[in-house]
Amino acid sequence: DGGITQSPKYLFRKEGQNVTLSCEQNLNHDAMYWYRQDPGQGLRLIYYSHIVNDFQKGDIAEGYSVSREKKESFPLTVTSAQKNPTAFYLCASSQGVPYNSPLHFGNGTRLTVT
Amino acid sequence: AQTVTQSQPEMSVQEAETVTLSCTYDTSESDYYLFWYKQPPSRQMILVIRQEAYKQQNATENRFSVNFQKAAKSFSLKISDSQLGDAAMYFCAWGAQKLVFGQGTRLTINP
């Protein structure tokens, strides 16, 4: 079955370390997205990519970096510059932009930094 | 910048009854889509319903329907015959080049 795989489900890191969250999709979707979800808040867009080798900052990109070297992969690195990295991270993809194509989401990664 | 506001942090309804979740948004664009997503305790995001802004007819998916008022920038979700499995966080979202989400409404179903 096609879908989006995020790994790992739970991730623990020490403060000051960079950490990379994996997101892989086999839906042949062009666009991919990273969202952050904090308790009591909605999803906030970190980065998005509409085509390979191109990506744009979302609303809260500071302290994060991404790459899009392959269509099916969009890893997110949480750097030590991110002041409050503990959160639930969701990756999503869509056939086109959300304008006419709904997002398909992965199951998320819960990152805890102590 | 586009914003989406859900003014009801929590809602509850008796099983089999009807509940309406509110959503307002702010945008200067004329072409866009609106969505309702459901997030159960598993935290998987599930698309419930979507509405094209250029369509006046309200979208319907089985027990789920929307009341789309474009001039008022309002997009409410009505759930009829509520079921225990409807308990979840519900997010309203506005979409054009990217998707902007509201803060969510936690829906509880009372048996």
Residue A99 has pLDDT above 80, yes or no: no
C-alpha span between B88 and B67 (Å, rounded): 20
Determine which of B29, B36, B99 to mutate to test the interface with A (most A C-beta atoms within 10 Å).
Answer: B99
Tens of pLDDT, residue by residue over A15-56, are 999 999 999 999 999 999 999 999 878 899 999 999 999 999
Residue ranges, chain B, pLDDT below 70: none
Is the predicted pLDDT of residue A98 greater than 80, yes or no? no
CA dihedral sign of residues B25, B26, B30, B32: negative
Do A98 and B99 count as a contact with CB atoms less than 8 A apart? yes
pLDDT-based confidence at residue A74 (cuts at 50, 70, 90)? very high
Q: Is the pLDDT of residue A97 over 80?
A: no
Residues B30/B53, Cβ–Cβ less than 8 Å: yes
3-state secondary structure of B86: helix
Q: Considering only CB atoms, which chain B residues are within 8 Å of A108? A: 43-44
Give the chain B residue whose CA is nearest to the CA of A49: B98
Strands B88-95 and B99-101: antiparallel
